[in-house]
Amino acid sequence: MPIIPGMRGGRLVRTVRLVSGLILMAFVLCHLSNLALGLRSLAEMEAWRAALTRPWTTGAGEWLLATAATIHLSLGLYALAARRSLTLSATDAAQLTLGLATPPLLIAHVIALATANRVSPGFADNYGQILAVYWSFAPAYAFLQLFVVVVVWLHGAIGLYSWLVLQPVWRRISGFVLPVLFALPILALLGFASAGQEVLDKLANDAAWRQMILDNVGRIAKVTRELAGLQRDLLLGYGVLVALALAIFGARVLLGRQRGVGVAYDGGHQARGRYGLSILEISQLNDVPHAHVCSGRGRCGTCRVRVDAGAAMLTPVGDLERSTLERVGAAAGERLACQAHVLGDGVAVTRLLPAFADATAAQSPHDWQAGSAAKEPA
Amino acid sequence: MSEQSMAVWSAGLLAGAKARFAALGADLAQAPQEAQQALQSVHDSLMTGSGVRSGTYIAILLLVGVAVEWLYWMYAYSPLRAVMAFPASSPREALRIGLRRLAFGASGLLLFTAATIGASAAFAWPPHVHGVVIAATLLLLMLRLSWIGVAVVLAPGRARLRLVPVEQAQARWLAAACLAALALLALGRFVPPVIADGIERAEHFAGALRLAAYTIAALVLFIGAFAFFGRSRPRTLSGRTPLFPRSFPLAMLVIGVYGIWLMHDRGAAVAAIAAVVIALQLGLRPIVYHYWDDDDAGALPAIVLSLARFVVALAGIGAAAIALDTPLATLAENVGPWVRVGLRLLGVAVLALLAHGIWIAVRSVVDQRLARIGPVDPHEPPDSSSRLLTLLPLLRVTTAVLLLVLLVLSSLWALGIEITPLLAGAGVLGIALGFGAQALVRDIIAGIFYLADDAFRVGEYIEGAGNTKGNVERITLRSVALRHHNGPLHFVPYGALGSVRNTSRDWVIDKFNLPLPIEVESEKIRKLIKQVGEDMKEDAAIGPLMLEPLKGKLYRIDPGVKIFRCKFRSPPGKQFDVRANALKRIEAALRKMGVQFADGRQTVLLQSSTG
């Protein structure tokens, strides 16, 4: 059988992706805070680098960061390959696109800093140097960096928010987390602008410093060819991987296309979809109102349904689904619509939460039990 | 306007078109070179410190806008989902949901735009960049607004929420075509000015870009008109006459607007607005009746339709005024004679639409109320609805006359014809007529006060001065028609009506006498009458007509006769039936008791004196 329904991953995969994402996000936060210090001065930035950025670029920190990035990227591609339809919410679509766009945008920056001092000994990778390159010698890279800040921050913020908002603790920390989440990249960019101006002034006024920068730039220029080759190879490899993931996704869609399955809902809705789609995906494809706060990640439990008929035509309950069902206190015979994939006709379900259920339904599932009878708003 | 000036004007127009064609040709010829130069200079200016600074600021603006909109959606997303999950069972409900979706989406977009443009004011931009940023934000606003509008109106993938009758298979393609056309129009509108004002002043490149964007948009719309409106409409009845395909006029409108744009830049905006207004006016009736096709809606669709027509026309005129960048008042002074005439006719059309709207609204409300009250039954007691029955037709006629007079006068004024002498002339004539029409005026004024006092309503029996009496049959502005109970119809001018005695209000008291022989026992008779009164109260037919029961008492004693007076209260007009019934019952009861009515014969005792 070419399709393995439910291969989007069990609990372990989710946890690993979440943890790797959190590690990356922690790094981004540190890096952006360091940049934000540029609002005070270049020296301040440089002074705090040891505490904020350096641990991530040396020793265990570097290893952790690289591993997390690799795992997160691989799991992202895996999730893309494991998709069965393109029914995405707007935030999910943004998340996917931004995530795919990140590696090609970031690769120049990473290669330059991670390998430059290895390839070219004596290269000083301090902020003054990098900012001088960005603001004066090769502004094209600066635009790349600006773009990547927006892209990475949006990707990370969406991921962090959609995980945090489901936690009961969110109500208490949202007032603190949200402002930080919104303010930090803005402050970082302001710091970038302010420090950049400082560097430009210094280049114009401080001849010795200028000479030092020029020497360094000359050293990089010697290895540019090598670095460009490395970058091209990495990009090519990434492109192949993305194409592969897309090809697997396309093949699954095409293969599943040949067999259609039907689902009957409460309220007289009838929906049809391809073999192997989850109940939630079939709802979304057919415009059946269906709550899904976490967009089918199996976290929130708002999409849960009572299976009235055809339980044998659904994929069995996995560990992720079981734990979520337990957490929200689901009764026997209830499933998560995003995790139950339809393998044949004759499935009939009742949606248990109204379509407008929001994150509070995941934070405190028991408050929403009573409201589940009122299916549609009056 | 003389023929000569028209000829001059047309020649000028043609010359202008020729010049414009030449300019467009020059734009196309010089565009590639200019584009290259412009791109090079943009690249050069970007690859400097100030370029990077601009880029940083733009990224910050983007983040600010996204953050603000994110906050908005944190609160708005659940309500929006609730709105969209509402099971819309009728097109009208879908319309309500659509309007709410529009409000949700537009609010978020507005916040994004306001935050971005507001934050952009905080930065010190290098020259030329701020204008570009604002233009880009506006372009983004238009693109997203088009997206929201198309998503709300066509709702591809959500047949329940679709606002226009389009099939599911077509909705997606129609949405794509609309979006493409709107995006191209926005592109042609917002991008070229930025290029033309930029560092290089690449005006030819801007012109060529505009030409390309508008040409492709016109093509998309032209093809779309045939692809989506070309099919013959479904014929539910086999005998229906074939309808003119909508695709043809739509395509003609597109071509017309594009042609005007080719010849005259400014005129095209107005022409495009006019085209949209015409298309909407043509399509409004089916659209409005798509939402109000059920019967119980009554007059609502008519009101909505005329209101919508009016709003569309007004919005079109407003948009045209904005597009021309000129207030209409100063516009009329310095444009060609045709435009001036056209503007004036437009003003008259707006006035007519307004008057028509008010008239439709008043008429349909009046007709609806009248239909609900139903025809008046002269044998039933008049109730409060008869007052409406009296006033509503009067209101309808008065409104019609008033609207017509106002419309004629203001149309004349809008056409530039002085109406002051007309009014003054009417004043002189009015004085002359006034002496003759003194009585008429008196009648009308008196009539207004009779109606305000609620002195009589249709169906009531009244008596006026000069022995005029009868049922009110008709009330006009000047007189009231009274049907005498013997048949003749009196037409009484209000001025001659005098004091009115209305016998149809609330209740009447009826009294009648019973002459009985002098021998009867008064108390017994009183009780008998009371008993009859109670029996009548019990009776199903006559009981409800007795507002106060029948009572009788000894009233007078004449020689040989005791006269009992009986009294009861009943609704107006019913006293005759009740009295007949009471007399019948009393007669029967008296006979049973063995008492006869006084026979009227007087016993005269003669004493003969014989001695």
Tens of pLDDT, residues B520-540: 888 888 888 888 888 888 888
pLDDT at A3 over 70: no
Beta-bridge partner residues of A209: none
pLDDT at position B118 = 92
A83-87, B231-235, B374-378: which has the highest mean pLDDT? A83-87
B 141-160 residues with CB < 8 A to A: 157-160
Q: How far is residue A88 CA from its own chain's centroid?
A: 14
Beta-bridge partner residues of A163: none
Interface test with B, best of A105, A150, A303, A363 (most B CBs within 10 A): A150
pLDDT at position B593 = 85
Contact predicate A334/A305, CB 8 Å: yes
Dist CA A324 CA A311 (whole Å) = 19
In this complex, is the C-beta atom of B513 within 8 Å of any C-beta atom belonging to chain A? no
pLDDT at position A125 = 67
Nearest to A83 by CA among A92, A73, A72, A70: A92
The DSSP 8-state label assigned to residue B599 in this structure reads -
Q: What are B290's two structure tokens?
A: 């798509």
**Each residue's pLDDT tens digit, B95-143:** 888 999 999 999 999 999 999 999 998 888 887 788 888 889 999 999 9
- Identity of the residue in B60, B85, B158 whose CB atom sits nearest the CB atom of A356: B85
Dist CA A273 CA B251 (whole Å) = 38
**Each residue's pLDDT tens digit, B55-64:** 999 999 999 9
- Give the residue with greater pLDDT, B134 vs B427: B134
Q: pTM of the full predicted structure?
A: 0.70
CA distance A240 to chain B (A): 30
Q: What is the DSSP string of B495-539?
A: GGT-S-EESSSS-EEEEEEEEEETTS-HHHHHHHHHHHHHHHHH-
Contact predicate B161/B132, CB 8 Å: no
In this complex, is the C-beta atom of B64 within 8 Å of any C-beta atom belonging to chain A? yes
CB contact set of B99 (below 8 Å; sequence gap of 6+): none
Backbone φ, ψ for residue B536 (5° rounding): -65, -35
CB contact set of B413 (below 8 Å; sequence gap of 6+): B419
Angle, helices B49-85/B91-120, rounded to nearest 10 degrees: 160
Contact predicate A292/A303, CB 8 Å: yes
Beta-bridge partner residues of B417: none
CA distance B150 to chain A (A): 16
Contact predicate A195/A38, CB 8 Å: yes
Burial category of A243 from C-beta neighbours within 10 Å (exposed 0-12, middle 13-18, buried 19 and up): exposed
pLDDT at position B19 = 85
Dist CA A117 CA B247 (whole Å) = 68
Nearest to A329 by CA among A309, A293, A353, A350: A353
pLDDT at A378 over 50: no
Instruction: Determine the residue of chain B that is closest to A153 in CA distance.
Output: B63
Q: What is the DSSP string of B140-158?
A: HHHHHHHHHHHHHHH-TT-
Instruction: Determine the residue of chain B that is closest to A184 in CA distance.
Output: B63
- Average pLDDT of span A91-111: 87
- Give the residue with greater pLDDT, B511 vs A285: B511
Q: Taking the CA atoms of chain B, what radius of gyration do you get in angstroms?
A: 41
In this complex, is the C-beta atom of A182 within 8 Å of any C-beta atom belonging to chain B? yes
pLDDT band at B606 (very low <50, low <70, confident <90, very high): confident
pLDDT at position A315 = 86
In this complex, is the C-beta atom of A177 within 8 Å of any C-beta atom belonging to chain B? no
Q: A201-207: long-range contacts (C-beta < 8 A, 24 or more apart)? A: A202/A42, A202/A128, A203/A132, A203/A136
Residue-level length of chain B: 611
pLDDT at position A372 = 45
pLDDT at A260 over 60: yes
- Average pLDDT of span B339-359: 79
Dist CA B471 CA B572 (whole Å) = 13
Q: What is the dihedral of CA A190, A192, A197, A203, to 10 degrees?
A: 170
A185-189, B46-50, B192-196, B393-397: which has the highest mean pLDDT? A185-189
Dist CA A104 CA B348 (whole Å) = 63
* Alpha helices (H) along chain A: 11-36, 42-52, 54-57, 59-81, 90-119, 127-132, 139-164, 170-205, 207-257, 279-285, 319-327, 360-363
Dist CA A134 CA A127 (whole Å) = 10
Mean pLDDT of chain A: 83
Interface test with A, best of B61, B63, B86 (most A CBs within 10 A): B63
In this complex, is the C-beta atom of B18 within 8 Å of any C-beta atom belonging to chain A? no
Backbone φ, ψ for residue A163 (5° rounding): -85, -45
Interface test with B, best of A92, A146, A270, A292 (most B CBs within 10 A): A146
Q: How far is residue A172 CA from its own chain's centroid?
A: 24
Dist CA B98 CA B86 (whole Å) = 11
Q: B390-394: long-range contacts (C-beta < 8 A, 24 or more apart)? A: B390/B451, B390/B457, B390/B458, B390/B475, B391/B451, B392/B366, B393/B366, B394/B451, B394/B475, B394/B476, B394/B477
Pairing label, strands A334-336, B469-475: unpaired
Dist CA A23 CA B447 (whole Å) = 89
Nearest to B470 by CA among B449, B443, B491: B491
pLDDT band at B179 (very low <50, low <70, confident <90, very high): very high
CB contact set of A342 (below 8 Å; sequence gap of 6+): A261, A263, A273, A275, A276, A277, A278, A279, A282, A313, A314
Residue contact B56–A186, C-beta within 8 A: no
Task: Specify the DSSP element, H or E, that contains A9.
Answer: none
CA angle B225, B282, B291 (to 5 degrees): 100
In this complex, is the C-beta atom of A146 within 8 Å of any C-beta atom belonging to chain B? yes
In this complex, is the C-beta atom of A366 within 8 Å of any C-beta atom belonging to chain B? no
**Each residue's pLDDT tens digit, B242-299:** 667 778 888 888 888 888 888 777 777 788 888 888 888 877 877 777 777 665 556 6
Burial category of B530 from C-beta neighbours within 10 Å (exposed 0-12, middle 13-18, buried 19 and up): middle
pLDDT at B216 over 90: yes
SS3 call for B446: helix
Query: Which residues in chain A are closer than 8 Å to B46, comparing Cβ atoms?
Result: 139, 143
SS3 call for A87: coil
pLDDT at A118 over 70: no
**Each residue's pLDDT tens digit, B8-22:** 888 887 888 888 888
Sign of dihedral through CA atoms A346, A349, A355, A361?
A: negative
Beta-bridge partner residues of A261: A273
pLDDT at A197 over 80: yes
pLDDT band at A1 (very low <50, low <70, confident <90, very high): very low
Type of residue numbered A259: R
Q: How far is residue A331 CA from its own chain's centroid?
A: 32
Nearest to B396 by CA among B368, B421, B418, B430: B368
A-B Cβ pairs (cutoff 8 Å, strict): 86
In this complex, is the C-beta atom of B168 within 8 Å of any C-beta atom belonging to chain A? no
Interface test with A, best of B52, B96, B116 (most A CBs within 10 A): B52
Q: What are A214's two structure tokens?
A: 């020029």
